[in-house]
Amino acid sequence: MNTSQVKKVVIAGGGTAGWMAAAALSKLLGKNLDITLVESDEISTIGVGEATIPPLLTFHKLLGIKEQDFMLATQATFKLGIEFENWRNGQDKYIHSFGAVGRDCWACGFQHFWRKGHDLGISGDYGQYCLELEAAKANKFAHLKQPVVRYAYHINATLYAKFLRQFSEKLGVKRIEGKIEKIENNDHSGMIESLELASGQQIQGDLFIDCTGFRGLLIEQNLHAGYEDWSHWLPCDSAVAVQTKATSDPIPYTRSIAHKAGWQWRIPLQSRVGNGLVYCSRYYSEQQATQSLLENIDGDTLTDPLHIKFRTGQRRKHWSKNCVALGLSAGFIEPLESTSIHLIQRGILRLIQLFPTNGINAADSEEFNRQTNLETQSIRDFIILHYHVNERQDSRFWRYCRDMSIPDTLAHRIELFKEGGRFFHEGDELFGEFSWTQVMLGQGIMPRSYHPIVDLMSANELKAFLDNIRTPIKQALDAMPLHHQYIQRYCKTD
């Protein structure tokens, strides 16, 4: 491998992935690096990934970004979770929230206490033991000192990239406008040495970050990293997106509405709503999908329908030689649980943790790929769960999803939960026990039993335990303002 020091970093492509990488590297390692970002105004970015998850707050804290500045710049609203409509049987609704649910003990999670209470008729709905979920249903939000509210954002992704560009350029990142025409590799090592633009300009570097989108211009077209296709488990391969004028106050959650061959998102920003339909082209034509979306939106359209084709999966190597892929270059898991920006963030922070200051070596890249693979597979399984566990009989798409084979890792988790409500967290995986439990229950999986430690409580003690969880939630909820009122005071855009 190349043991020369890494001093010049070249980011190929802008958009959310490119400018997130530029912002983090320039802020956290910038004094030791020469960072250049190359992007072309001729190449449009996807820019529809507008829903995020709570770890983005940590990313912003690392970069020293003030929340109100960010929200003003991106027309953002707050997000407490995702509401899933019609996913189980076509007549259902549940919310996967970001918050903790109830209180657990060393031996088992809260769902075991709730499960026994359900048998005894003394439990409320599982979500009633979560402040974030109850606040979402009530359209409320506030920053509280106690209990701390776990939240994320709905953002304008295009404006987010512009915000991070300004942030990065102030820290010395150089942006070069141009279209990449040729990639020069070292004859001996095979590593990338430079990018040649259409103008003839050459951009040399020691480490290259591929943010060129689905094309994977560096990681795939040049280095042939390979692609692991997951479309047999996640058959949706297309999307159509459109923006509309807001017709009501923004709600603090994303809506995910199941259709006959996919699902529709509704993401409320301060000034507009992002809408889209993710679908499988085997069961919906482009025309059918567009018509289905346009028939199920509120407000006048602000944009023409944007059509996107994709293939779910990931690169076999996210880091190959001296190139690291981020964003769509690294792979794609559909945006059902808003993980796209999170995977960009995790890739950036993982690169910083393993940054090859003293040269590119196999140990760093292999560890990067190992960690990325484990995390991405875990997210993949969580997404598959939503599709596979359904009772819908109204379309071939949903029957396929229910009858398809699934990864052994997911099958094991489903069986563990079915039998005894058990869940075990694996390493640094993103979604924990509360998330899996909310979706399992929401999709109709009721554990057959609960942990015997729960029986140490009498029925009266269990009722008091459950009531003592709900009481402070009700008190906090009563004190919270409506979501749109809070935004008006905190970060309203003109």
287-333 confidence digits (pLDDT tens):
999 999 999 999 999 999 999 999 999 999 999 999 999 999 999 99
Per-residue pLDDT, averaged over 476-482, amounts to: 96
Whole-number pLDDT of residue 40:
86
Ramachandran sector of residue 35 (left: φ over 0; alpha: ψ -120 to 50; beta: rest): beta
Whole-number pLDDT of residue 432:
94
Per-residue pLDDT, averaged over 478-488, amounts to: 96
Is the model's pLDDT at 470 over the cut of 60? yes
Q: Angle CA(39)–CA(158)–CA(95) in degrees, nearest 5? A: 135
Domains of the chain: 8-50+156-230+312-378 (3.50.50.60), 238-309 (no CATH)
Distances (CA, A) of 419 to 69, 402, 445, 449: 48, 19, 10, 6
Whole-number pLDDT of residue 146:
87
Is the model's pLDDT at 47 over the cut of 80? no
Is the model's pLDDT at 49 over the cut of 70? no
Is the model's pLDDT at 46 over the cut of 70? no
Q: Which residue has the tokens 């990488």?
A: 21
Per-residue pLDDT, averaged over 119-132, amounts to: 96
Is the model's pLDDT at 472 over the cut of 90? yes
Band (437; pLDDT cuts 50, 70, 90): very high
Is the model's pLDDT at 2 over the cut of 70? no
Helix (H, G, I), strand (E, B) or coil at 16: helix
Is the model's pLDDT at 450 over the cut of 90? yes
What mean pLDDT is reported for the chain? Answer: 95
CB 348 within 8 A of CB 16: no
CB 50 within 8 A of CB 155: yes
Helix, strand, coil tally for the chain in percent (to 5): 40, 20, 40
The whole-angstrom separation of Cα 210 and Cα 11 is 6
CB 335 within 8 A of CB 268: no
Whole-number pLDDT of residue 304:
94
Helix (H, G, I), strand (E, B) or coil at 49: coil
Whole-number pLDDT of residue 426:
84
DSSP structural state of residue 25: H
Whole-number pLDDT of residue 32:
85
Contacts of 49 (CB under 8 A, 6+ apart): 16, 157, 335, 338, 340, 341
The whole-angstrom separation of Cα 480 and Cα 474 is 10
The whole-angstrom separation of Cα 182 and Cα 186 is 13
Distances (CA, A) of 304 to 154, 238, 240, 293, 307: 21, 16, 10, 12, 10
Band (41; pLDDT cuts 50, 70, 90): confident
Q: Which residue has the tokens 């084979």?
A: 405
Is the model's pLDDT at 233 over the cut of 60? yes
The whole-angstrom separation of Cα 77 and Cα 177 is 32
The whole-angstrom separation of Cα 97 and Cα 318 is 30
Per-residue pLDDT, averaged over 113-142, amounts to: 96
Distances (CA, A) of 70 to 14, 64, 156, 157: 18, 11, 11, 12
Contacts of 224 (CB under 8 A, 6+ apart): none
Per-residue pLDDT, averaged over 131-152, amounts to: 96
Residue type, 240: V
Residues β-bridged to residue 146: none
The whole-angstrom separation of Cα 438 and Cα 233 is 21
Whole-number pLDDT of residue 31:
85
